[in-house]
Amino acid sequence: MPFTLRGDDVCQVTPPTPLPDPYWVAFSPSVAKLIGLELGDNDLPKDPGWLAVLAGNQLHVGTQTFSNPISTVYSGHQFGSWAGQLGDGRAILLGDINQLELQLKGAGRTHYSRMGDGRAVLRSSIREFLCSEAMHALGIPTSRALALVGSKQSVRRETMETAAVCSRVAPSFIRIGHFEHFASLQNVTRLQELADLLMNEFYPECASKKDSYLELFKEISARNAKLVAAWQAVGFCHGVLNSDNISALGLTIDYGPFGFLDHFEIDHICNHSDHGGRYAYHRQPQIMHWNMACLASAMLPLLELEHSAEDSQELLRSALEEFPLTYAKEWQRTFRLKLGLQSEQDDDIQLIERLLQSMHDSKVDFTNFFRSLSNIKKDSKPLAIPQRNEFIDRESIDQWFTDYINRLQSELISDDDRKDLMNRVNPKYILRNHLAQVAIEKAQQDDFSEVDTLFKILSKPFDEQPTFDSYSKPPALDMQRIEVSCSS
Other beta carbons less than 10 A from residue 79's beta carbon? 14
Other beta carbons less than 10 A from residue 379's beta carbon? 9
Sign of CA dihedral 356, 358, 363, 368: negative
> What DSSP character marks residue 119?
B
Q: What are phi and psi of 101, to 5 degrees?
A: -90, 135
Rounded distance between C-alpha atoms, residue 282 and residue 423, angstroms: 24
Q: Classify 306 as helix, strand or coil.
A: coil
Sign of CA dihedral 240, 243, 244, 247: positive
Residues belonging to the chain: 488
Distances (CA, A) of 53 to 95, 119, 150, 312: 12, 16, 13, 46
Q: Within 38-120, where are the H helices?
A: 49-55
At 451, the amino acid letter reads V
- Residue 416: exposure state from Cβ atoms within 10 A (0-12, 13-18, ≥19): exposed
Q: Which helix (H) or strand (E) holds 236?
A: strand 236-237
The strand ranges marked E within 56-198 are 60-61, 64-65, 70-72, 75-78, 81-85, 91-97, 100-105, 120-121, 144-156, 160-170
Rounded distance between C-alpha atoms, residue 255 and residue 461, angstroms: 19
Of 8, 43, 88, 244, catalytic: 244
Q: Which helix (H) or strand (E) holds 319?
A: helix 309-320
Residue 244 designated active-site: yes
What is the distance, to the nearest Å, from the Cα of residue 326 to the centroid of all Cα atoms in its chain?
19
Q: HSE (CB half, 13 Å, CA atoms) of 378?
A: 14
Radius of gyration of the chain from its Cα atoms, rounded to whole angstroms: 23
Distances (CA, A) of 285 to 228, 288, 324: 6, 5, 8
* Catalytically active residues, by annotation: 244
